[in-house]
Amino acid sequence: MLRRNYKWNSILLSLTLLSLTICPLYMGEKVYANSYTLSALQEQQEKQEKNPVAKPDTNARAAALIDVTTGRILHSENGDIELPMASTTKVMTAIIAIEAGKLQAKVKTSKQAYAKEGSSIYLRLGEEMSLHHMLYGLMLRSGNDAATAIAEHVGGSEEGFVYLMNQKAEELGLEHTQFRNPHGLDEPGHYTTANDLARLSAYALQNATFREIVKTKVKVAPNPNDQWDYKWANKNKMLRLYEGADGVKTGYTKKALRCLVSSATRNGQQLAAVTLNDGSDWVDHEKMLDYGFATYPLYTVVDKGQKVKGYPLQTVRDWRYPLSDQERAQTTFKVDLHKQHSLDYQLGYRGHLKVFLENTEVGNVPLVDTKNPSQSSNQPSEAEQVTSIERSNQLSQDAAEMQGWLQQFQTVVVELFRLGA
């Protein structure tokens, strides 16, 4: 029995020494296109295992979570089911008014806008207010009177504005969205999906004026009818409940029930969450945003000025994408060169560095000559350009193989302990 134990203990010692010899060869290598290492990845994985953020399971009829910068849907529940969206409609109303209207122009309250049913900012008949101020009343207090007045001002009529809304939806590829009015009151044929509303919100949040309006907690605006100013407090409680919250819109009707679009920014990454028909929306949005920030951080996949091995080329800019820990090892690259007679080539661009995730292209970065990178500025030093694309691809494969080897090694060790016990 002693000989048997000695034999197994010797094998265990040999395997342990072997692992200590092999692992450092991998742990010190760069695996991804930036400075990420396998050891850093494992540290982050261990940290996440200790403090996991569960995949959200909401009470919503439909839900979606999107990365605003890239437009990647990070989470979806019944995301393509067509549902009424109540006053979240006003996300579209606002962005069209901002893009097509003049913010300082005066908007006059018509008979159709005056005393409009539902939520209101109590505009008086014939009252005039700047489009900019009225947009705050629209988004903070969800004024249906403001929505109607804005639609008539920008579109010439409510029907004309609705045409612009549907035109924009088609332009953005919102295939399951249709508008019948600018305010969101229940009406046949007025619907969207959680995924479409998330994409619309991500688009709107690219606009600086829209971002400024929807993150405002309280707005004071001139009141021509009384001695005191208008003072509008934002109905979006997420601005007070969630760290980093910066938008966007609440909604409710008897048919749509509670609807909510929220956004938040942490560590330079902005996410937007959507729920349709959700009685516990504040809690569900917190869970969704927490999950997104913890699981899909915005990751620099390609560095600006990065050289491409085998080509006299370098990247014009950096490129970031939300990736989970597991997805980072699956990121690969391909160089696509322009023909010399093409317009892009004449403008100084030599091709694109395409980025793939599980064989699906998710982005690309323009490439220019390394000798004369006229399309790029503030180039990094030679020491900062040590990482090459081909090396990154190979090391990503090596990292995956190493992870498999470590799992097998763990299994062998456990079995040896069992036999030697």
Residues 201 and 185: their CA atoms lie apart, in Å, by 19
Helix (H) or strand (E) run with residue 107 in it: strand 106-108
Residues 201 and 203: their CA atoms lie apart, in Å, by 5
CA angle centred on 353, ends 372 and 331, rounded to 5° = 140
Catalytic (active site) residue 377: no
Q: Taking Cα atoms as reference points, which of 403, 387, 361 lies closest to residue 33?
A: 387
Structure tokens at 222: 């001139």
Q: 142, 262, 388, 392: which is the annotated catalytic residue? A: 142
Catalytic (active site) residue 90: yes
**Percent of the chain as helix, strand, coil, to the nearest 5:** 40, 25, 35
Structure tokens at 342: 């093409």
- Amino acid 238 reads M
DSSP of 43-101, one letter per residue? HHHHHHHHS--PPP--SSSEEEEEETTT--EEEEESTT--B--GGGGHHHHHHHHHHHS
Residues 185 and 340: their CA atoms lie apart, in Å, by 55
Q: 30, 87, 287, 392: which is the annotated catalytic residue? A: 87
Sign of CA dihedral 85, 86, 89, 91: negative
Catalytic (active site) residue 14: no
Task: Please check whether residue 134 is in contact with residue 122, taking contact to mean a CB–CB distance below 8 angstroms.
Answer: no
DSSP of 329-359, one letter per residue? TTEEEEEEEPPTTSHHHHTT--EEEEEEETT
Q: Catalytic amino acids?
A: 87, 90, 142
